[in-house]
Amino acid sequence: MIVLWLLLAFAAGLLVGALALPGAASAIARRRAEGPWRKLLGTAFSRVVAGEHREAARLLRSAVELVPGDDGLMLLLGEELRRAGDLARAARVPDLLLARRDLQPDVRAAALLLRGRLLEAEGRWREALDAYGEALEALPRSEEILVATERLLSRLRRWDEAVEVSRRLVRVNPERGKIVLARRRVLEAREHLAEGNPEGALEAAREATRDWPDMGAGELTRGDALYQLGRHRQAREAWLEAARLHPRLAPLVLDRLEHLEGDEGRAAVRGFAEQVLEDLADEPRARGRILAWLADEALRRGDTEAARGWLERLRRDHPGAQATARLAARLAAAGTTPPPPLARLLDQWAAEPPWPDPWRCTRCGAESAEFRWRCRSCQGWETLA
């Protein structure tokens, strides 16, 4: 009997040892890997901050392989893969995480947010909205999920729903929510203007400026609605207020004032352009557009000396711009009789806007032939210049 008990104790010891061995081995391996792992993480985070997303993803993938099981690290890897444009690999991260049933609500919400962003990048907008909806169920007060949801709703022109989500954001973060809500109202107002509904546009623009009084886009849009309603004096006041709030909008205001005043009020428009240059020291592209307009306007009234002065300033700031080359050619031909082909080309240039160069996003560098309140590439708000 004693021998039997000894054999049982021995067997139990072997079983306990066998069960404990993997955990012990894992702990030992983790301790051994911790040094290189921490070094990898430090380098990866520095790449994230620097915006080197492809290299950050490579380093994070190595860190995950070295010490697996960190949900936060997996999510960061997925986000960096998304930013690097590797959507197929990025999609595996939320798939792997959401296949588990033991996820904490915040991790589940983050994984669903990532999935929604990836679906949105593929143009699968309805599925993306479903993912954002599930994410909000897991984490109803998440700012980032609310913002992602209202952005997509705005893209789909589902304005009432976008505004409702923005109101939810106001309850979570009043300051950020009011900005987002005001921007939604501006986009809604622009949509009303495009549809020929200036009354609806004016109401939406007024609500935008009530939510965020210092918003130049709201004032500019309010002015556009007032102009369509024939209330020109009030439109002018709103446009000038927009330029005061955000000098970057000055070229847009200049275009509107030129159209409003006509030839009779050209001197007043010129005065606005000359005055606003002082506020554009930190906005080189907006300043370039104003300088090009002033040079063009001087050429139209035959003041070649003034045109030469504005052109010299434009050449210093934007030597390679199309506007600079075109204005220089027109100035050189002033007072002469160029051959017919050149004359036709110069007449064509004179009939076009003096700054033909595309608008460019100051955030991501994407170019657009037309001004847009939101960059289609990076979704930046009021970043085109």
Per the document, the length of the chain is 385
In the predicted model, what is the mean pLDDT of residues 326-341?
92
- Whether 367 is covered by a domain: the verdict is no
Is residue 14's pLDDT more than 50?
no
- Whether 305 is covered by a domain: the verdict is yes
Distances (CA, A) of 55 to 36, 62, 84, 86, 310: 17, 11, 9, 12, 46
Average confidence score pLDDT of the chain: 87
Is residue 229's pLDDT more than 80?
yes
pLDDT of residue 33: 53
Question: Under the phi-then-psi rule, with left for phi > 0, alpha for psi from -120 to 50, and beta for the rest, what region is 302?
Answer: left
Name the pLDDT band for 6 (thresholds 50, 70, 90). very low
pLDDT of residue 26: 42
- Whether 306 is covered by a domain: the verdict is yes
- Whether 297 is covered by a domain: the verdict is yes
pLDDT in tens, 31-77: 445 678 888 888 888 888 888 999 988 988 888 888 888 898 899 99
- Whether 313 is covered by a domain: the verdict is yes
- Whether 212 is covered by a domain: the verdict is no
- Whether 282 is covered by a domain: the verdict is yes
Enumerate the H helices of the chain as residue ranges. Answer: 2-50, 53-66, 71-83, 87-98, 105-121, 125-138, 143-155, 159-172, 174-194, 198-211, 216-228, 232-245, 250-261, 266-276, 284-300, 304-317, 322-333, 340-351
The structure tokens 């893969």 sit at: 81
Question: In which domain, by residue range, is 324 found?
Answer: 268-333+340-358
Taking the model in full, what pTM does it have?
0.75
**d(Cα 254, Cα 240) in Å, to the nearest integer?**
9
Number of domains comprising the chain:
1
- Whether 165 is covered by a domain: the verdict is no
